[in-house]
Copies of this chain bind each other. A is one copy, B any other.
Amino acid sequence: MAREISLFEAIRTQRAIRRFRADPVSDEAITRVLEAAIRAPSPGNRQSWYFLVVRDPETKRRIGEYYWQATLEAQREPGYAQIASSPVYRSADDLARRIGEVPVMVLACVEVRGGAAGPPGRGPITLGAAIYPAVQNLMLAARGLGLGTCLTTRHRRFEREVKELLGIPDHVETAALIPLGYPAEGEHFGGSRRRPTTEVAFYERWGRKKASA
């Protein structure tokens, strides 16, 4: 194996990869990204997470159909036209057409029994604290192994259908669908555009940009 990637290099160079080579991903690599996922913080150490790994072509194809239908629905909504021309959305729409063919899909799932307030599928933002840190660990570990991922949620428009297809019980929700595979030619890690911390970090009080030591 190549040298171990440093933490800060992995963080700095992670970016959404949306085109993949057809090469398979080994069981060992999948296990390593899952081992990373379960090291993430877990509220009250309840570990209410599950990870569903899908490599069966027919299952991926069917999930991909829902994903594409969800994309078409989103495209018909007011407001989509404004964002659709951005590079991120064009790339995301390209992925949506081909997502059924990615080498691996990982569905990150979380139990919501007892945790969600209100009707199913709704709750405080803090519900996500039980699953997205693990998703991020999984994606960083993938980066560390040279595997591309991106964090997608569009399939949630067909949450019921996807859960039925995969046999996911009622008290569990899918929080993310993560395509996993080696980046296609022309895809590269690094270079994500971000507003600098000077614009998004405040000190002592909202809006105060100067650090007080």
Contacts and interface: CB of A to CB of B under 8 A. Distances in A.
Interface string A135-175: 11101110110000011010010000000001111001101
A180 interface: no
Contacts of A207: 167
Interface residues of A, number: 95
Interface string A45-80: 101011111111001000000000000000000000
A38 B200 contact: yes
B53 A203 contact: yes
Contacts of A40: 14, 136
Given A6-B6, A7-B10, A128-B129, A151 B50 contact: no
Contacts of A6: 4-7
| Best-surrounded residue of A47, A59, A132, A211 (most CB of chain B within 10 A) | A132
A112 interface: yes
B212 A156 contact: no
Nearest to A190: B39
Interface of A: 4-12, 14, 16, 27, 30-32, 34-45, 47, 49-56, 59, 83, 86, 88-89, 92, 110, 112, 117-118, 121-129, 131-133, 135-137, 139-141, 143-144, 150-151, 153, 156, 166-169, 172-173, 175-176, 192-197, 200-207, 211-213
